Amino acid sequence: MLVVNFLAIDPGKSISGKPITRYTLGRFRLSPLHLFYLRKIEDVYAMGIRSFLKNALVSKELDSQLNKINKPVGSLGYDPWGYNVDANKVAMAIFDYIYHKYFRVEARGIDNVPAEGPVLIVANHSGQLPIDGTLIGYALTSREKNPRVPRAMIERFFPTVPILGNMLNQVGAVLGDPVNCAKILSNNEAVVVFPEGIRGSGKLYKDRYQLKRFGNGFMHLAMKYNAPIIPVGVVGCEETIPAIANIKPLAKMLGVPYVPIALPVVFPAKVILNFGEPIYFDDNVIDEDHITERVEVVKSAISKLIDKGLSERKRLF
């Protein structure tokens, strides 16, 4: 509608004498190829970018696989944190290639994640960008039996970034806030947590696969909401963006957690995700020292899963 309104129709005759219709845009005459692309733009405008991408990228098989997900959403496909059913389908279609072909991810023990109820998926963090969280999310969402959409907690500066903040929310990411995490667990959903936070994602290549200090917040939430913890050992993401140094003054000036010195490329390292057995904790401990002891149990489980992944990995790329 939008484009066609600007077109002037000029009836005329071809060389052979047959009547034809010529289209002009201003003083430019449009070829059939121009018209084809203009109509494509028109389709995008009429349908909305999301619907257009969904029609173009999401196959019927993927659509039916994702329709199996039992996730509560409102009448227009949104949840309170901005997750959108169609946007997630588009993201899954795009990540299909990245997951299977680029990083050639192997996810082991994925069925350890319960089919329903609140659950915390706790993993080691690495690789400067949140690639690890995205791959864990893809693995669980594309799981053959009882797929789920886990919610990844993201850094606080993301909501202030135009386009990216909304895009991350639409595919399931949530502002890393204890209230958000508590509400999601009480909503019987799965949450991906990286207790190392930026200490983990911003670490240098020389410190690879060394777990940094874990925060205790996730343990309090797991105990309060009676949520099992699934430890995950991520191997491979450390090699995706190896950083040799962090320019702290520049990071402080820009208001970002870190500015790594690294090549401006994401390497296609082979990624192995090892999902461990669920660990259950009762709600009887009130002492913070005991909470820290419990956190160490989870940390040790993740450490063992990382070692397992490293021994299973045959090559870096």
Partner 1 sequence: MKRTNKPTILITGSAGALAQQVINRMSDSCNIVAVDFREQVYLGDDIPSYRIDFNKRVFEDLFRKYNFDGVIHLGRLIASQETRMRRYNANVLGTQKLFELSHKYGVKQVTVMSTFHVYGAIAYNPALIDEDAPLKAAELTMDLVDSVELENLANIYLWKYPDIHITVLRPCNIVGPGVRNTISLLLSSKYAPVLAGFSPMMQFIHIDDMADAIVVAHKKNIPGIYNVAPDDWVSYQEALQLSGCTRVQIPSIPPSLPRFISRIMGLKSFPVYLLNYFKYPVVIDGKLFRNTFSFKAKKPLKEVFRYYADGKRD
Q: For 59-74, give the DSSP string.
A: -HHHHHHHHT------
d(C-alpha 199, C-alpha 97), whole Å:
29
Amino acid at 272: I
User: Which one of 180, 188, 216, 303 is in contact with partner 1 (CB under 8 A)?
Assistant: 180
Q: How far is the CB of 50 from partner 1 (least distance, A)?
A: 9
Residue 159, interface with partner 1 (CB under 8 A)?
A: yes
Specify the residue, 154 or 262, whose C-beta has the smaller distance to partner 1.
154
User: Which one of 30, 52, 63, 183 is in contact with partner 1 (CB under 8 A)?
Assistant: 183
Residue 224, interface with partner 1 (CB under 8 A)?
A: no
Specify the residue, 48 or 117, whose C-beta has the smaller distance to partner 1.
48
CA angle 199, 189, 289 (to 5 degrees): 45
Q: How far is the CB of 61 from partner 1 (least distance, A)?
A: 27
Q: For the chain, give the DSSP string.
A: -HHHHHEEEEEEE-TTS-EEEEEEETTEEEPHHHHHHHHHHHHHHHH-HHHHHHHHH--HHHHHHHHT------TTSB-TT--BHHHHHHHHHHHHHIIIIIS--EEESGGGS-SSS-EEEEE---SSSTHHHHHHHHHHHT-SSS---PEEEE-TTGGGSTTHHHHHHHTT-EE--HHHHHHHHHTT-EEEE-TTTHHHHT--GGGTT---PPPSHHHHHHHHTT--EEEEEEESGGGTS--SEE-HHHHHHHTSS--EE--SS------EEEE---B---S----HHHHHHHHHHHHHHHHHHHHHHHHH-----
Specify the residue, 159 or 215, whose C-beta has the smaller distance to partner 1.
159
Residue 117, interface with partner 1 (CB under 8 A)?
A: no
Residue 197, interface with partner 1 (CB under 8 A)?
A: no
Specify the residue, 165 or 268, whose C-beta has the smaller distance to partner 1.
165
Stretch that binds partner 1, among 55-63, 90-98, 161-169, 234-242 (CB under 8 A): 161-169
Q: How far is the CB of 43 from partner 1 (least distance, A)?
A: 15
- Look up residue 234 and give its two tokens: 């991520």
Stretch that binds partner 1, among 27-35, 101-109, 158-166, 204-212 (CB under 8 A): 158-166
Each residue 228-257 as x (binds partner 1 by CB under 8 A) or -, in order, gives ------------------------------
Q: How far is the CB of 176 from partner 1 (least distance, A)?
A: 10
Stretch that binds partner 1, among 25-33, 92-100, 156-164, 195-203 (CB under 8 A): 156-164
Stretch that binds partner 1, among 14-22, 24-32, 81-89, 215-223 (CB under 8 A): 81-89
Each residue 61-80 as x (binds partner 1 by CB under 8 A) or -, in order, gives -------------xxx-xxx
Specify the residue, 114 or 176, whose C-beta has the smaller distance to partner 1.
176
Specify the residue, 159 or 278, whose C-beta has the smaller distance to partner 1.
159
Q: Which residues bind partner 1 (CB under 8 A)?
A: 48, 74-76, 78-82, 84, 156, 159-163, 165-166, 169, 174-175, 177, 179-180, 183
